[in-house]
Structure 1
Amino acid sequence: MGWRERVQRDRVGRSMRMARRALVLLAVLMLAAIWPAGGGTTADQTPALPFYGIQFRDILSQRDLLAPAGDAGAELIRVNLRWAEVEPTNTNPPTYVWDKYDALFGAMAQAGFAIMVTVRDNPSWAATTPCGPIDKVPAGRLVSFLQAAVARYSGAPYHIKYWELYNEPDNQRPDMHQQGGCWGQYPAQYAALLGQVYPAVKAADPQAQVVFGGLALELLEDYFNHMFLNQVLTSPGGKQFDVMNFHYYRAFHWRWDPFGKDLIGKTAYVRGVMAQAGLQKPIILTEVGYPSVGPAEDGQDYSEEASSRYLMQAHARAHAAGLRAIVWFEMMDDPDDPRKYGLLRADGSAKPSYTAYQTFTRELAGLPYLRDASQGTLEAYAFDAGDREKLVCWSETVTQTMSLPAIGVWIVDKAGRRSGVLDGSPEDLDGRRDGVTSFPVGPEPRIVYPLVRSELPRPAAYLPRMSRGAR
């Protein structure tokens, strides 16, 4: 089913989610209005940032994807702002061409999304490479551009508060400039740039937040300087930012699992590096994804179904890691990328990962995270739903039995289908009516929560109704 049909089918739910996003955006603006500007060194002084984000490309046709993104439950959009496009020529005073971004950011804000901007792509008159140090003119030219952008977009109707400085700046190969950053050989210069950018951004908007460029931190041949973060934080200016930021892909879990499971481990590593530098700042994950197509030789399961499973796992682990936001890469398949990371196919039809995103946000958005409730290799993460707890659970190895002290449980699969198991029913794996309900948990992530007494069906009808399931 394409997203257009899905939107038509679910107008009421979409309207409610739009209202929720509007309230979240209002909360961001209200908090920003009262939050102290801070010094960008140690204190956690960040206005509330919506947790659920999606990466958009900076092309005007992406405006057509705002409706399905909203229907999925996303609240935050991460998108590029390319300096070379806005200031293509070197003039005095500077000449800025904002038309494209006025239209793009305006549509995103009007749809109720919070926006995080990634500033990147140096003009050729300013730098030798589009992704690294400003070496043809004083770095103050970039600072002036960024200050002008913040002044233009911080207020109505855009309300942009989060400004990221390059994408994956730890990349050290200028020939890979499409990454959006290549400061890997110049950590001291990136630190100095932070030191210049920070006060300029705050002067334009005291509530604006400077976001460290999303770090890859991977040991990938000669692509990345894996000591970049340590080197920046120990260089003058390197602590002048508000929010730490990194990227994570499942294929590199072997490097981070010693610090904790999957992206939880990488978060712990980043937090530890900051602690060594005397910093305690909020951390966000602005790029995580799972391709629908990939090389068979690396042993990973690449498919649309595998991507949808990992989406739910990653979002649950992001809560457990204490991250402030997670941005899924990306909204729609890029026709030029054979790996196909999108929630939507290039023709606009929804993949299973789109439905999984929608299910996760519908069931858990706004619920406080409680704890890691895992049992050995059975992973489970608990959320506070008020009168009960909701658990996201799965077992990556073999199907296992999970038991909850309850008269029954609701089980929601990643496609959003809800079914139930009653204590003592044939579906109850312990086979007893004993106040404990047992059910299987396998590789497919599920959201489970106790059934309360008011939800009990009539005795004569409960088994057929429970086995059919209902949304």
Structure 2
Amino acid sequence: MIEAAKIWNEPNNKSHWDPNLDPEWDRFAQMTRLAGQAIAAENGGLTRVLGGLSPIDPAFVQRLDRKGALDHVDVLAVHGFPLDWNLWAIDEWPQKIAEIRAVTSKPVWVTEVGVSSFGSEEVQAWGVKKTAELLIGQAPRIHWYSLYDLPKTWEATTRHKEAEGSSYYRHFHMGLLRADGAPKPGLEVYADYAAEMGLCQWFHFQDHRIDAAAGWMKRLGVRHLRTGLSWADSFRPDALAWFDRQMEALAEFEVTVTFCFTPEHRGIEPHHTSPPQAAEEFAEFCAQMVRRYAPASAPRAQAFAAG
């Protein structure tokens, strides 16, 4: 069920890691080393992926390499949204991957790539096709972000503020399905590439869309899915029951599961972007999730541990 464990999400983006609290990323490097070791101790065959870089920055890769963090991951990942937020053209995708390959011998995955329908659903449909043509064959894993639009009553996990207008609201229009489940034109285009270009879909705690999402992915022929298990959510009542429910619904797919988000009471500051007070606690969360959902010796049918 789980083919890879991803350590954090976009560590060089202040939407997900506070650089004011860790300006040299020393704490992040330590957390990555410990988490990578903990995952390997539970399942040495599980691929460990560094949280996707956004922006795509080879200097950041070199920074983490000097701190020993890359010794404890097997794959690097990048994220890109050139038609929405990045200051480079969509045709530069192969060049951006080459920039990271130039500073590492590790495989490079594209674990988030997308085009919003904020301005036009037809532009998004074109973007799906163009992205597939540019990236299939360039990266071993590609995950289109995302299946569903973010409901407008929810909050986008981003540094952007509502007052910024388009920069904020584009987050709500990244799906191939509208928030009510209605297909956009891009869904039909995506179906032609679903076997080679997977999906990235984040599920919120007790997300009502989980079964419908699994149904859509089966119909589309999706093989590879990226999602997340939140360290912060693990402190909610009945958290493990929800995690079990989520992972059981996704059992037919090859899942890259992202471990991230600091619980407010365990951060240096009370925010999900804060470095943890004790990096060992995040590493133990990673180990617990691997024990439960990707144990080294258990067959797939027995992936859910007793607790």
How many residues were matched structurally? 236
Report the CA distance shift for 1:273/1:79 in structure 2 as closer, same or farther (over 3 A): same
1:50–1:76 contact (8 Å) kept in structure 2? yes
After TM superposition, list the pairs within 5 Å mapping 1:90-129 onto structure 2: 96-98=90-92, 101-110=93-102, 111-117=104-110, 118-122=112-116, 127-128=117-118
Distance between the aligned counterparts of 2:246 and 2:211, measured in 1?
10
188, 197, 205: which one aligns with 1:218: 205
Distance between the aligned counterparts of 2:172 and 2:247, measured in 1?
24
Match of 1:232 in 2: 213
1:383-416, Cα deviation, whole Å (9 max, x unpaired) = xxxxxxxxxxxxxxxxxxxxxxxxxxxxxxxxxx
After TM superposition, list the pairs within 5 Å mapping 1:373-452 onto structure 2: none
The alpha carbon displacement at 1:194 in A equals: 4.8
Report the CA distance shift for 1:179/1:236 in structure 2 as closer, same or farther (over 3 A): closer
Distance between the aligned counterparts of 1:74 and 1:178, measured in 2?
32
Report the CA distance shift for 1:52/1:315 in structure 2 as closer, same or farther (over 3 A): farther
Match of 1:309 in 2: 280
After TM superposition, list the pairs within 5 Å mapping 1:181-260 onto structure 2: 182-183=174-175, 185-189=179-183, 193-200=186-193, 208=196, 210-218=197-205, 226-235=207-216, 238-253=219-234, 254=236, 256-259=238-241
Aligned-partner SS, 2:143: strand
Match of 1:84 in 2: 83
TM-align CA RMSD: 4.2
| Structure 1 unpaired stretches of 5+ | 8-23, 25-47, 90-94, 203-207, 220-225, 260-264, 324-367, 372-380, 382-471
Q: Is 2:270 the counterpart of 1:295?
A: yes
Distance between the aligned counterparts of 1:246 and 1:369, measured in 2?
21
Match of 1:150 in 2: 135
| Structure 2 unpaired stretches of 5+ | 1-23, 30-43, 157-161, 163-167, 299-304
Report the CA distance shift for 1:314/1:236 in structure 2 as closer, same or farther (over 3 A): closer
Match of 2:290 in 1: 319
The alpha carbon displacement at 1:69 in A equals: 6.1
1:337-395, Cα deviation, whole Å (9 max, x unpaired) = xxxxxxxxxxxxxxxxxxxxxxxxxxxxxxx8247xxxxxxxxx9xxxxxxxxxxxxxx
1:245–1:286 contact (8 Å) kept in structure 2? yes
2:191–2:220 contact (8 Å) kept in structure 1? no
The alpha carbon displacement at 1:66 in A equals: 5.0
1:230–1:273 contact (8 Å) kept in structure 2? yes
TM-score, length-scaled by structure 1: 0.41
Q: Which has the higher contact order (CA 8 A, sep 6+)?
A: 2
AA partner of residue 128 (structure 1): F
The alpha carbon displacement at 1:106 in A equals: 1.7
The alpha carbon displacement at 1:218 in A equals: 2.6
Aligned-partner SS, 1:317: helix
Report the CA distance shift for 1:86/1:148 in structure 2 as closer, same or farther (over 3 A): farther
Identity score, percent: 8
Match of 2:63 in 1: 65
